[in-house]
A and B are shown apart, each in its own frame.
Chain A
Amino acid sequence: MIDLNERISEKKNFFNRLIFVYIFFGFLFLYLIYKTFSLQVSSYTDYEIASLKNKTREILLQPRRGIIYDRNGEIIANNVPSYNLIIKPSEVKDLDSVLSNIRQIIDISDSQIDNIKDSYKTKKKLNREVVLKKDLNNEEIAKFEVRKYKYPNLFIAERYSRESKYPNLFSHSVGYVGNTSEDNIEEILSLQNLRPKETIFKYSNGYMSGKTGLEYVYDKELRGLYGKKIFEVDASGKLLKERETIKAIDGKDIHTSLDLKAQQVAHQQLNNRRGAVVAIDLRNGSIVSYISSPSFSVNDITNGLSQDDFDKLINDKNKPFFDRAGQGRYSPASTIKPAIGLFGLEKNLIDWEFTIQDIGFFELPEDGRIYRGWKKGGHGRINLQDAIIESSNTFFFSLAYQTEVEELIEYLSNFGFGQNVCSDCFSPDKGLLPSPAWKMNTHNFGWFKGDTVNLGVGQGYLSATPLQLAYYSAFLANKGSIDSFSFVQDNKIKTKKIFISNNIKDNDWRKIHHSMIGVIESPRGTAGRLKNLKEYSIAAKSGTVELVSTETKEDYKIIRETEGKRDHAIIVAFGPMPEPKYAVSVVIENGESGGSVAGPVAIAVLNSLIKNE
């Protein structure tokens, strides 16, 4: 037994210790209250935001892509509604029976069924839609609509696809859209301060962006701004209810300068031959026709075609994807002659009275090498005007022989050779304007006088795209002042490039024009066959691009057995004269005769353009 003293000391000891522990816990609880206070009061805003972020999910809304018009308001690239069959998994009890029921009226492939089953569970959990079939046809829509009451958990919703009513006419100018890579999506969205996330699509192809042509160049304008739908979600990400919608802003429509009728004419005239047509409105430098042939259907590329068909396109030896108008390189051949003539006038090497005796060939004094003309025996005594009309090679060989090549090259660059002449074309090629330095670098050979002589008739290293040839044509038509080309009406305030010339007078330009009218009108003109085709007075210069150099007509007969070795036909033209409104260039690969093969195409396009003013 414990005695009284001990009991009192025990009691005191107990009191002290119990109160000690209580005080200890008092401090712990104070800290706990402080901690709660700091969470709920001091850091309240942070946690309120965190809680809000937790329970909301933003879903992006895809904007509608801008429509592309021709210059008369015809729609050339549009958004066409397509219809998708969609299931709401959260309202479905037995997926298999729903699927087998719907398959009785609408054909769904086995692989698609597998896809549906794969994604079904998660989509159901998250309250999302599952697409059963894309792009239903009218028959399928009708079949479903009359039996709708049998399928309360299925519905048809509208999605767009990018389509053109003229799928082959604008393949290389307007181009096409396609699915976008992850990186590209990130880039596109980051421009709008967004990050890739779940998106409600307006298009059945999902994310898409311009891949070529104007669809690519003006992608940013056409694309529009993404909107947002803000949902309340639970921890699993299931959508509960919609809280807010920020509408998407549709893309801007683009009014191009392209002319549907001219495009149709050009396409029809080329008739799937390999070639290109570019036509320009001289009043503002806008491109009214831009055709590369053969073409392909942009609708197929955008909205899908079978692997076989795609392989066929890719492996086609005529290369339909290749943009001959902007990227094909061709020697200008005789079409260069007016420019060489202008250079002679500028440098006072010749005047309009100056003549030479054309004996059918030019002999290079240095080594006696022979440069032949196309006419055996030559054109006789000939001046500049006739040399253009009859396309005398000898005249321009001997003129070029007298030039300083650096000066000539610099002069030619004014005409667009070796330059980018278009402000909104999709990766245009600059062609090749050769120079002694260039030849040394690439061929490791010095510049020969013969190279200069060849330059005089547009053969040799010099090459240009049909687009550049159209620029050259427009430059001649506008007497030297010209706008940079563009596909869009009133795109930007343009500054006309003024050609500064000391010795070329208006009279000289008129005489050049007159000579080029003579190419068609004169009995001796190289494009005399066009006389009956044209409806207006047209100035032109044809050319024939030799792919293989031959000595005699007999030699050429042998090589023309192989189609790919035949000469290219080429022509530049403008009209109506004397106040030209349109300029055009036409190239037909292996077409042989500039005047009679490329010429009719150019005339038809100009006729259409001028007639439909």
Chain B
Amino acid sequence: MNKLIDSLRSKIYFDQYLFISISLLSLMGLIFLYSASDGNISTVVKQSFFVIFGLILMFIASQPDPDFYKNNSLVFLIISIILILLTLLIGKEVNGAKRWLDLGVFTLQTSEIIKIALPVYLAAYLYDKALPISLLNTFLTLFLILVIVNFVRIQPDLGTSLVILIAGLYILFLAGLSWRFIGVSLSIFILSLPFIWNNFLEPFQRQRVLTLLDPTADPFGSGWNITQSKIAIGSGGIQGKGYQMGSQAHLDFLPETETDFIFSVIAEEFGFIGVCILLAVFFFILIRCLYLALNARDRFCRLTIGGLSLLFISTIFINLAMVVGIIPVVGMPLPFISKGGSSLLSFYIAFGIIISMASHKKLMQK
């Protein structure tokens, strides 16, 4: 019997810590979503299917050897870029944004795929390059990142394009981008901020930034979301108003309760205690990722785990910072909690890849 388990274990690649914590998070998400959707059972059932499907995808994605990802990363990247371009051409338009490809049974948000494919490709491209990374490679990869980011930005999807940019830059940074280069480009970036403000942001995006600086200036217009979100969070207090008792959420004061602003619902109904518990689960996952990255078998795995986990952190932070009013409203779901299809599945796949990188050991380390 034990032999059987042992032989199974040697064939199955698995990380119980991540698997349990992500399942727990998904379950919490379903519970929160039930309240956030005003007790809409069909929303919760649909989300449950995504969660189960996601967990299966995660399991499947963790089985191949890291070399599989390394060798095929270019193929994945090209497929994702084609999908992105297709989206721009024949994508489904919702509220003036073209972000989705209609696949009949499922609408696919293609930027969610490239969000994973790009860091993996970059890790595969950079893992065997000598340190420090040459200027040529720096510019080549930066160029690739910026082109892809721009494809997503013009959909327009500022939130996801930002995350893709950050994810790409993490890989470069972790791979050993020279500090001097970082310093120089940061200064250029800061100096060119006014130019970006005027030429790269849509008027509504600029309005969001201005709203952040002074949400009270127009509380019923663009400041409404931030103001109502803050009221929801603040009025939750330490213990919260109780499950399904959040008046801000249930009387429609809070916008987008199922997606971007689900954290506000949690904070309103479960209070500061609930917020701390939720964050604790997130932190546990992040710490586990850090451990796995530091113990990965080779440079490619290290870079991939590091990059994907930082992608995860950034997404969480952007969402939370947005709903408490630290940064502008950019449209960013809370991973594993917010309602969603593609955005939800992409993180299961990302964690499947992380588990794959962490659980495949080589006898002879390179």
Contact = CB atoms under 8 A, between A and B. Distances in A.
B365 to A, nearest CB: 9
Given A48-B234, A51-B232, A235 B131 contact: no
Given A32-B326, A40-B237, A14 B279 contact: no
A21 B309 CA distance: 11
A28 interface: yes
A22 interface: yes
A47 B251 contact: no
A39 B174 CA distance: 35
B324 A29 contact: no
A1 B306 CA distance: 22
A39 B251 contact: no
Nearest to B325: A35
Contacts of A21: 170, 173-174, 310
B299 A54 contact: no
A48 B310 contact: no
A2 to B, nearest CB: 7
Contact of B235 (A9, A13, A31, A51): A51
B341 interface: no
A235 B231 CA distance: 13
A7 B128 CA distance: 10
B131 A9 contact: yes
Contacts of A427: none
Contact of A10 (B131, B294, B310, B313): B131
Interface in B232-248: 232-238, 247-248
A52 to B, nearest CB: 8
Nearest to A54: B253
Given A41-B272, A47-B231, A48-B234, A18 B320 contact: no
B99 interface: no
B247 A35 contact: no
Contacts of B176: 10, 13-14, 17
B102 interface: no
A35 B324 contact: yes
Nearest to B255: A235
A25 interface: yes
Nearest to B321: A32
B339 to A, nearest CB: 20
A150 B234 CA distance: 50
Identify the interface centre among A39, A43, A46, A48: most chain B CB within 10 Å of its CB: A39
A563 to B, nearest CB: 66
A133 interface: no
Given A14-B302, A40-B236, A233-B251, A50 B130 contact: no
Interface in B263-300: 267, 271-272, 275-276, 279, 283, 286, 290, 293-294, 299
A236 B233 contact: no
A40 B272 contact: yes
B131 A39 contact: no
Contacts of B306: 14, 18
Given A37-B272, A40-B234, A18 B317 contact: no
Interface residues of A, number: 43
Contacts of B70: none
A41 B238 CA distance: 6
Contact of B290 (A1, A17, A18, A233): A18
B252 A234 contact: yes
Interface in A3-17: 6-7, 9-11, 13-15, 17
Given A15-B294, A236-B252, A44 B235 contact: yes
A234 B235 contact: no
Given A40-B237, A47-B235, A22 B290 contact: yes
A54 B231 contact: yes
Contacts of A440: none
- The majority secondary structure among interface residues of chain B is helix
Given A9-B131, A17-B174, A50 B235 contact: yes
Contact of B293 (A18, A31, A234): A18
A53 to B, nearest CB: 9
A55 interface: yes
A428 B286 CA distance: 86
Interface in A163-197: none
Contact of B234 (A7, A9, A33, A47): A47
B303 to A, nearest CB: 8
A237 to B, nearest CB: 10
B251 A36 contact: no
A135 interface: no
A44 B320 contact: no
Nearest to B230: A39
A158 interface: no
Identify the interface centre among A10, A22, A36, A233: most chain B CB within 10 Å of its CB: A36
A289 to B, nearest CB: 59
A6 B131 contact: yes
Given A10-B299, A21-B170, A44-B234, A235 B324 contact: no
Contact of B299 (A14, A31, A51): A14
A437 interface: no
Contacts of A46: 234
B317 A240 contact: no
Contacts of A44: 234-235, 237-238
A232 B250 CA distance: 12
Contacts of A35: 324-326
B342 to A, nearest CB: 25
Contacts of A33: 275-276, 279
A40 B272 CA distance: 6
B275 A235 contact: no
A50 B326 contact: no
A9 B313 CA distance: 26
Contacts of B326: 31-32, 35
Contact of B271 (A15, A40, A234): A40
A29 B317 contact: yes
Contacts of B310: 21, 25
Interface in A86-119: none
A40 B251 contact: no
Contacts of A6: 130-131
A16 to B, nearest CB: 10
B230 A47 contact: yes
Contacts of A39: 230, 233-234, 267, 324
A47 B128 CA distance: 54
Nearest to A9: B131
Contacts of B131: 6, 9-10, 13
B284 to A, nearest CB: 13
Contacts of A47: 230-231, 233-235
Contacts of B174: 14, 17-18, 21
B94 to A, nearest CB: 22
Given A18-B174, A28-B317, A240 B251 contact: yes
B130 A32 contact: no
Contacts of A1: 128
Contacts of A28: 317, 321
Identify the interface centre among A22, A28, A33: most chain B CB within 10 Å of its CB: A22
Contacts of A50: 231, 234-235
Contacts of A13: 131, 176
Contacts of B290: 18-19, 22
Interface of A: 1-2, 6-7, 9-11, 13-15, 17-19, 21-22, 25, 28-29, 31-33, 35-37, 39-41, 43-44, 46-48, 50-52, 54-55, 232-236, 240
6 contacts: A10-B299, A22-B290, A33-B276, A44-B238, A51-B247, A240-B251
Given A32-B324, A47-B234, A52-B235, 16 more contacts: A7-B299, A13-B176, A18-B174, A18-B302, A21-B310, A40-B238, A41-B237, A44-B234, A47-B230, A51-B231, A51-B232, A54-B251, A55-B248, A55-B253, A235-B252, A240-B251
Interface of B: 128, 130-131, 170, 173-174, 176, 228, 230-238, 247-248, 251-253, 267, 271-272, 275-276, 279, 283, 286, 290, 293-294, 299, 302-303, 306, 310, 313, 317, 320-321, 324-326, 366
